[in-house]
Structure 1
Amino acid sequence: MKNSSHAPSATSLPRAPRDDVGARSTRYLVMMGVRILCFILMVVITPYGWYTWVFGAAAIFLPYIAVVSANVGQEARSNRREDPEPSLPAVPGAASTAAKTDTQVIRVEEQRDPQPQPPAPKDDPEKPGPAA
């Protein structure tokens, strides 16, 4: 695992697997539709020739390609992660193209507070004092 000095931001994380399922299912179903189309074209187009063999080979090998491509997640196919750090200005008051387009980048960093001080005792006039 990569060791980094800062925590990952929300924009640098890959898509969640549950969000990737829809795209993978659609890709699989489209490839299976192309396979059915290859079967139909293999039978319908006459006279039979070299393209009949191409349609037949596509109908045979497309299920393997469809399953493999559906099982490969988004991260393995492309590693496109956005890193907001380059868009931040080097100096807080520096003008950048982001400021000109009315887009602001807000960076929040958390730090530990020093040891909290106990609250000072208050004198309550209604509370009776110690017995003398």
Structure 2
Amino acid sequence: MKRPANRPILITDAARSQRDQLRSREVRYVVMMGIRAACLIVGAVLVSAKAPLLWLWLPLCVAGMVLIPWLAVLLANDGPPKEEHRFGARLRRRERPEPEPLSLTADRGSRTIDAEP
């Protein structure tokens, strides 16, 4: 998306670097795989201990072991949303006032305030 010529460039509008995006996706993937491993271990402990309500907890653990890897791969391969699809960007565009153009000639009726007496 091109910005209009009279709008200032803000550093907060800059996209994250490719390295930062990749790093956050790697961390998210490892965390999700850790949760999957925890589901496997908890399921094995529940079965070996013959825990009460095993009929409830075991399907939850199995669902975690099956769904989490699928979601982890999808999220690891996903990129950041495009600017036109981001809700915050649309909101910022509406809220941000247009800057006033600077004039090269000063108004004669304006006052100048200095910090020094």
Counting only pairs closer than 5 Å after superposition, residues 5-16 of structure 1 correspond to structure 2 as 5-6=4-5, 9-16=10-17
1:62 deviates by: 0.8
Cα distance between partner residues in 2 of 1:27 and 1:14? 19
Query: For 2:4 and 2:39, how far apart are their aligned partners in 1?
Result: 52
| Structure with the larger RCO, 1 or 2 (CA within 8 Å, 6+ apart) | 2
User: RMSD of the TM alignment (CA)?
Assistant: 3.2
| Uncovered stretches (5+) of structure 2, i.e. residues with no partner | 103-109, 111-117
Q: CA deviation at 1:73?
A: 2.0
**Residue 86, structure 1, aligned to residue 96, structure 2:** yes
Question: Are 1:59 and 2:69 matched, yes or no?
Answer: no
TM-score by length of 2: 0.59
The 8 Å contact of residues 27 and 70 in structure 1, kept in 2 or not, is answered as: yes
Partner amino acid, structure 2, of 1:14: A
Distance (Å, rounded) in 2 between the aligned partners of 1:70 and 1:87: 37
**What percentage of aligned pairs have identical amino acids?**
27
Normalized per residue, which structure has more helix? 2
| Residue in 2 that maps onto 1:17 | 18
- Aligned-partner SS, 1:43: helix
Alignment of structure 1 residues 80-119 onto 2, 5 Å: 80=88, 86=96, 90=100
Structure 1 segments unaligned to the other structure (5+ residues): 94-132
Contact 1:35 1:62 in 2 (8 A): yes
The Cα of 1:10 is off from its aligned counterpart by 4.1
